[in-house]
Amino acid sequence: MPPRQKRGVPEGLWLSCPSCKATLFRKEVEDRLNVCPQCDHHFYISAHERIRHLLDADSFQEWFGDLRSLDPLEFVDRMPYAERLEKEQHKTGLTEAAVVGKGYIRGRPVVLAITDFAFIGGSMGSVVGEKLTRAVEEATRLKLPLIIVSASGGGARMQEAILSLMQMAKVSAALARFDSGGGLYISVLANPTMGGAAASFATLGDITLAEPKALIGFAGKRTIWATVRLELPEGFQTSEFLLQHGFIDRVVQRKDLRTEIAQIIDYCER
């Protein structure tokens, strides 16, 4: 009679929290919208997961999903830029680091844009800037509230040089026109919101919300130390620190974000 094989623990059943180091049952974390039950750490979630969390079921209509980045510089680092884009598209299932469209939050029509850190750090290339700009312009045309959820840690995408950098000004200009037309812009800062995103569209909201313990800022702590030799305060560039210093309006748990946004829309449209 052959020896009975040992029953192993299935892979992926448990995960470790990067904040409190607790070993967590993955299903419990997922049931809590990917939030640690021990320390309240908010794990990364994809753009499409955020859409499911925020919007009414099956209400999202994606816009401009056919836009693709070009390779005007024929840029090569560890691999050609064109190859990197293809690899990222295969890995994430996204065509670019931003998803935009129209949907409903508790029956309220909104224009929603989300940047996704998984796609080249959520960096802002020409397509990300174009998608965001078009979303803002559609919100202006339709006279709908605009929500942008930022999870961009990569800044302007170096592989596209000035074509990437100019997107900061382009999106900001579109937001200025949106504001002149009386539009409501709610900015939601997730972990991380850094670089070009933090220096432009992410911090221009009429109301700025942030998830707990999110990293928010322009240059990171190590970069600041390397350039100006300045030791930063404890907790600097976290959403709680920024709330304390008046940089954002409220820190909101992921589970409460949908209700919070709906209430803000109702209040501002009175």
Does 7 fall in a domain?
Answer: no
Instruction: Give the type of residue at 50.
Output: R
25: containing domain: 12-43
Note whether 144 and 29 are same-domain residues.
Answer: no
Beta partners for residue 211, in sequence order: none
What pLDDT is attached to residue 8?
53
Note whether 26 and 160 are same-domain residues.
Answer: no
Element of type H or E holding 250: strand 250-251
Residue pair 189/208 in contact (Cβ under 8 Å)? The answer is yes
Note whether 36 and 48 are same-domain residues.
Answer: no
Note whether 166 and 245 are same-domain residues.
Answer: yes
Name the token pair of 107: 């029956």
Element of type H or E holding 146: strand 146-150
Note whether 38 and 152 are same-domain residues.
Answer: no
Q: What CATH number does the domain containing 134 carry?
A: 3.90.226.10
Model pTM? 0.91
Domain total of the chain: 2
Burial 114-144 (b: 16+ CB within 10 A, else e): bbbbbbbbbbbbbbbbbbbbbbbebbbeeeb
Q: Could you give the residue ranges of the DSSP H alpha helices within the chain?
A: 26-31, 47-54, 81-92, 126-142, 161-180, 195-198, 221-228, 239-244, 254-268
Name the token pair of 236: 């600097």
What pLDDT is attached to residue 4?
60
User: Block means of pLDDT (10 residues each) for the chain, length 270 residues?
Assistant: 58 88 93 92 95 96 95 93 96 96 97 97 95 98 98 88 94 98 97 93 97 91 84 86 95 96 92
CA distances from 205 to 136, 185, 241 (A): 12, 5, 18
Residue pair 186/209 in contact (Cβ under 8 Å)? The answer is yes
Note whether 225 and 127 are same-domain residues.
Answer: yes
Note whether 29 and 133 are same-domain residues.
Answer: no
**Residue reference for tokens 């920024």:** 242
Note whether 77 and 60 are same-domain residues.
Answer: yes
Residue pair 57/144 in contact (Cβ under 8 Å)? The answer is no
Does 3 fall in a domain?
Answer: no
